């Protein structure tokens, strides 16, 4: 799954990278979590891609969805329409995942080797109230090395050459999975301070170990 990520580039750099104007409310964030608004690229009004702040998480009477499986998103009733009509991209610098050994949960920061932006494939959902922001979920796929040793799922990440086809609905599921497997990633352990969404500073992504984890040193 993908339950926390970062987008910490300054506004001007993000705008330059995606070649779109950013909303005034955009701010760098080292700890983006579900229930928050995050920057997305989507064709919200059929006039072409635009950058907007969307709400992370689709609330239904039964559940609160933050992810959808790439393997079944095109056939699952909850996500099928958005798969065909409402795709989006979520720019990110990296994401967090937790390795569980049955006793503790060790957080990792996972990021592209070239330290550039990655773009998560997502689906967005029109709001029932026009005054609210559309919701989005992040698509996930089976993890590969080095992520599979940490968690069995990872976000689907698409290079810039696939963005237009993804947003238009032309990129097929198999192609998205293949492209998502081509992103070169690195991972390192980080402080457990990331567990709290109240912590948002740049130290969250610094490599650490249990011996120098400032959260552990409190005990």
Tally of CB atoms within 10 A around 106: 16
Which residues are part of the catalytic machinery?
2, 97
Q: First CA to last CA across the chain, in angstroms?
A: 30
The DSSP string of the chain is ----EEE-S-HHHHHHHHTSPPPTT---EEEE-TTSEEEEEE-SSSSS-EEEEEEE-EE-SS-EESEEETTTTTTSHHHHHHHHH-EEEEEESEEEEEEE-SS-EEEEEEEETT---EEEEEEEE--SSTTSPPEEEEEEEE--TTGGGT-SEEE-B--GGGHHHHHHT-S-HHHHHHHHTT--EEEEE--GGGGSTT--SGGGGS---TTT-TTGGG-
């Amino acid at each position: 799954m993908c339950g926390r990520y970062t987008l910490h580039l300054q506004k001007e750099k993000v705008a330059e990278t995606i070649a779109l104007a950013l909303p005034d409310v955009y701010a760098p964030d080292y700890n983006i979590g579900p229930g928050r608004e995050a920057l997305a690229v989507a064709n919200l009004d059929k006039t072409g891609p635009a950058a907007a702040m969307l709400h992370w998480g689709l609330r239904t009477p039964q559940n609160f969805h933050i992810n959808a499986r790439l393997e079944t998103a095109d056939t699952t009733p909850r996500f099928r329409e958005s798969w065909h009509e409402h795709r989006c991209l979520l720019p990110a610098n990296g994401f967090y995942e937790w390795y569980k050994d049955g006793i503790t949960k060790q957080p990792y920061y996972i990021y592209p080797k070239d330290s550039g932006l990655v773009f998560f494939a997502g689906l967005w959902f029109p709001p029932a109230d026009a005054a609210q922001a559309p919701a989005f979920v992040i698509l996930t796929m089976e993890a590969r090395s080095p992520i599979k040793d940490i968690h069995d799922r990872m976000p689907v990440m698409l290079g810039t050459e696939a963005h237009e086809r993804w947003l238009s609905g032309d990129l097929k599921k198999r192609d998205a999975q293949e492209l998502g497997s081509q992103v070169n990633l690195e991972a390192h352990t980080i402080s457990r301070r990331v567990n709290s969404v109240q912590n948002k500073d740049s130290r969250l992504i610094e490599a650490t170990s249990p011996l120098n984890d400032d959260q552990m040193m409190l005990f």
